[in-house]
Amino acid sequence: KAGVTQTPRYLIKTRGQQVTLSCSPISGHRSVSWYQQTPGQGLQFLFEYFSETQRNKGNFPGRFSGRQFSNSRSEMNVSTLELGDSALYLCASNVGTGGYNEQFFGPGTRLTVL
Amino acid sequence: GNSVTQMEGPVTLSEEAFLTINCTYTATGYPSLFWYVQYPGEGLQLLLKATKADDKGSNKGFEATYRKETTSFHLEKGSVQVSDSAVYFCALSDRNFGNEKLTFGTGTRLTIIP
């Protein structure tokens, strides 16, 4: 069974630009969550999508957005990039029916903002 | 809100030493508890989990017991190996449908020297 895949793995952007990251969950998983990992703030929850609807949202500004497609693939977008957006962005998938809540993580996309 | 407090790192041990990484949590209700491990350049991998009080999660020689009375989930291993060098994250999640969010501790970097 293929794991969670994220593309691209590495990305370099400049301030003010926007970026789109992609995540393909494990087959059959309907929930996709996104996390930001930085040395200073650690792992922080961005949002979660389930059946194409945002179900949970963390405390990030509106520049961070996402969506989920009918095949459960998800994208997150960051507009007007700031230096502080440099981070490892991790995507996680799970079945989405609650209770157990085991999340399976992808390898991440390393975003560098110059 | 939910929170996880994790032992500050880094931790350096000799091979075959005993390992303990402390983790305590604050949560409403009865969360599920997890230990994740992150190897250099990779995403997070689930190491072990426990879903109710007094459950013991175990995997690859690592163990952790869900202690509701002390709100703790300490990670232990009797004899560490060089290959255990990684960053370890304690995490919790609500066990409710519709909330797949994980709350993480700050992570503990473990280095094992031969």
Which region among A15-24, A54-63, B12-21 has the lowest average model confidence (pLDDT)? Answer: A54-63
* Of residues A43, A45, A98, nearest to B89 (C-beta): A43
Note the pLDDT of residue B97.
57
Note the pLDDT of residue B98.
60
Q: Assign B84 to helix, strand or coil.
A: helix
| Cβ pair B43:A33 closer than 8 A | no
| Cβ pair A98:B45 closer than 8 A | no
Phi, psi of B106 (to 5 degrees): -80, -10
Note the pLDDT of residue A101.
59
Note the pLDDT of residue A108.
95
Note the pLDDT of residue B14.
97
Residue of B nearest to A47 (CA): B101
d(CA A48, CA A67): 9
B4 alpha-carbon distance from chain centroid = 10
User: Does residue A104 surpass a pLDDT of 80?
Assistant: yes
Averaged pLDDT for residues A18-38: 95
Dihedral of the CA atoms A84, A67, B33, A85 (nearest 10)? 0
| Cβ pair B44:A105 closer than 8 A | yes
Which has the higher per-residue pLDDT, A103 or B87? B87
DSSP 8-state code for residue A3: -
- CA distances (Å), origin B94, targets A105, B81, B103, B112: 18, 33, 9, 33
Under-70 pLDDT residues of chain B: 95-99
d(CA B27, CA B103): 10
| pLDDT bracket for residue A93 (50, 70, 90) | very high
* Of residues A48, A94, A100, nearest to B51 (C-beta): A100
d(CA B104, CA A110): 19
Averaged pLDDT for residues A45-55: 93
Tokens of B4: 């996880």
Decide: B49 and B64 in contact? Cβ < 8 Å. no
Decide: A87 and A94 in contact? Cβ < 8 Å. no
Averaged pLDDT for residues A69-81: 97
Note the pLDDT of residue A103.
86
Across chain A, mean pLDDT equals 93
A60 in contact with B, Cβ within 8 Å: no
| Cβ pair B36:A92 closer than 8 A | no
Instruction: Among B52, B59, B100, pick the best mutation site for testing chain A contact (most A Cβ within 10 A).
Output: B100
d(CA A41, CA B11): 20
User: Does residue A49 surpass a pLDDT of 80?
Assistant: yes
A98 in contact with B, Cβ within 8 Å: yes
d(CA A93, CA A104): 5
Note the pLDDT of residue A1.
67
Note the pLDDT of residue B81.
97
| Cβ pair A99:B97 closer than 8 A | yes
CB-based burial of residue B43 (10 Å sphere; 0-12 exposed, 13-18 middle, 19+ buried)? buried
Q: Count the neighbouring beta carbons within 10 Å of the beta carbon of residue B67.
A: 16
Note the pLDDT of residue B95.
65
| pLDDT bracket for residue A59 (50, 70, 90) | very high
Helix, strand, coil: what percent of chain A each, to 5? 5, 55, 45
* Among A2, A94, A88, A8, CA closest to A41: A88
User: Does residue A10 surpass a pLDDT of 90?
Assistant: yes
Note the pLDDT of residue B105.
95
A96 in contact with B, Cβ within 8 Å: yes
